[in-house]
Every structure is written in C-alpha cells, then in structure tokens.
Amino acid sequence: MSDKPAWLRPHGRPWTNDTERVVFENPWMRVTDHAATAPTGQPASYGVVRLKNYAIAVLPLHADGAVTLVGQNRFPLGDYSWEIPEGGGPIAADPLESARRELAEETGLVAAEWREVLRLQLSNSVTDERAIGYLALGLSEAAHGHHADDTEEIAIARVPFREALDAALAGHLQDALTVAMLLRGYHMAREGSLPDALARGMLG
C-alpha cells in the first residue's frame, strides 16, 4: 500500500494509567485492575487481560486449493472447534518460527513459502492480545508427523478452500482468526496475489 491516508491520524488525549494491581496470573495471562483517566478527563476503573504470547495463525494452502484444518475441544466455550492451525508464540520469539512450529506440531506439514498477511488485535477493549496470520504455501509432509502436547487431541481435515470458507460464513467455524484468515485468503485469490492455478483451485 502507498501513503498512510490522512484520516488515520489520532485525535484527543490518550487514557492515563493512574494505579495498577495484578489480580490474577497464570502461565498464559495476567489480569490487571487499574484506576485510569479517560480521554474525556473522567476517572474510570479498567480491568485488562494481558496475554504472555502472540496468537499465531497459519493458513496452510495446498497447491490444489485445499486447506488443512484442525479440530479440537475448547474449554472456555465448551464446544468442538474446527480452525486453521493456531497457537501461542512467546512475544520475545520470532513469530515466524512459532508459526513453523505450530504448523508442524498440529498437522505434520512443512511449508516452502511463508507470507505474513494479517495483524490483528483480538479484543482491544478488554485484552492486549495481538495476533499474526501467515499463509503457508509449498506444503509437504514432515519426516516425523505431528505431535500434540499432553492436553491436546487434534483431528485433521483437508478440505476444499471454498467449502471451509462457506462453512465459516454459515457459522460452523467461528474462531475469529480462522474466519479472518479464510476471508483474507479469498481476498488474495480474487486480487491476483496468489499463483493463478492456486487461486482457481481455491475459488472452485
């Protein structure tokens, strides 16, 4: 993209953080409670969920236009969720290395080509969680296959891209990173940002 449009400029004063205390901490997050001052000058109390990892997401696109999805039981909503491969990447680590690791661990795939295609703040009024989305192309099976950690039981499905996208838009896949990355893949296929044969395979 070219120059940053003028309308993107910030307005007004930022929030100020007046006092802060940690109210909960585990290996993945810290919850902090703040006395703050709003941009309007109004005092406000604010609770923030601070994540210790980036959310790393990988859209693995096979040459025929199929995508590899992973399925797992999720605890917070108590449901079964089909998603693109995702996981936490330490904020101090190279996020591309985290992406390679997640893809290999969850699917047993390695990719010859990686492209960073999305940066997201997942819920920026409540958490500071940041996500990075990668496209993985030139896929092949790793020598040693996939291995989940001891709380994960991961199912794998290789499905036509269009079928995955339609399932997301019908509400069968709801993980935000998955839906955003499928829509980003559609956009790239339509805009000529992917090899022609791949784009044709994806768009069906």
In whole angstroms, the minimum distance from the beta carbon of 142 to a copy of itself comes to: 22
Q: Which stretch binds a copy of itself (CB under 8 A): 60-68, 92-100, 101-109, 113-121?
A: 113-121
- The answer for residues whose C-beta is within 8 angstroms of residue 98's C-beta and 6 or more apart is 54, 56, 87, 88, 89, 90
**Spatial distance between the Cα atoms of 29 and 88, rounded to a whole number of angstroms:** 11
* Cβ atoms < 10 Å from Cβ of 162: 18
Rounded to the nearest angstrom, the gap between the alpha carbon of residue 171 and the centroid of all alpha carbons in its chain is: 18
Residue from 19, 26, 144, 192 touching a copy of itself (CB under 8 A): that is 26
**Spatial distance between the Cα atoms of 32 and 85, rounded to a whole number of angstroms:** 29
Report the run of H or E that residue 100 belongs to, with start and end.
Answer: helix 95-107
Task: Tell me which residues in 27-46 interact with a copy of itself (CB under 8 A).
Answer: 28-29, 31, 33-34, 36, 38-40, 42, 44-46
In whole angstroms, the minimum distance from the beta carbon of 3 to a copy of itself comes to: 10
**Spatial distance between the Cα atoms of 18 and 45, rounded to a whole number of angstroms:** 10
What is the CB-side half-sphere exposure of residue 74 using CA atoms within 13 A?
14
Amino acid at 193: S
Task: Tell me which residues in 69-108 interact with a copy of itself (CB under 8 A).
Answer: 69, 71-78, 80-82, 88
Task: Tell me which residues in 6-25 interact with a copy of itself (CB under 8 A).
Answer: 7-8, 10-15, 17, 23-24
Task: Tell me which residues in 116-175 interact with a copy of itself (CB under 8 A).
Answer: 117-131, 150-153, 155, 157, 159, 163, 166-167, 169-172, 174-175
Which positions from 45 to 74 touch a copy of itself by CB under 8 A, shown as an x/- string? Answer: xxxxxxx---x-------------x-xxxx
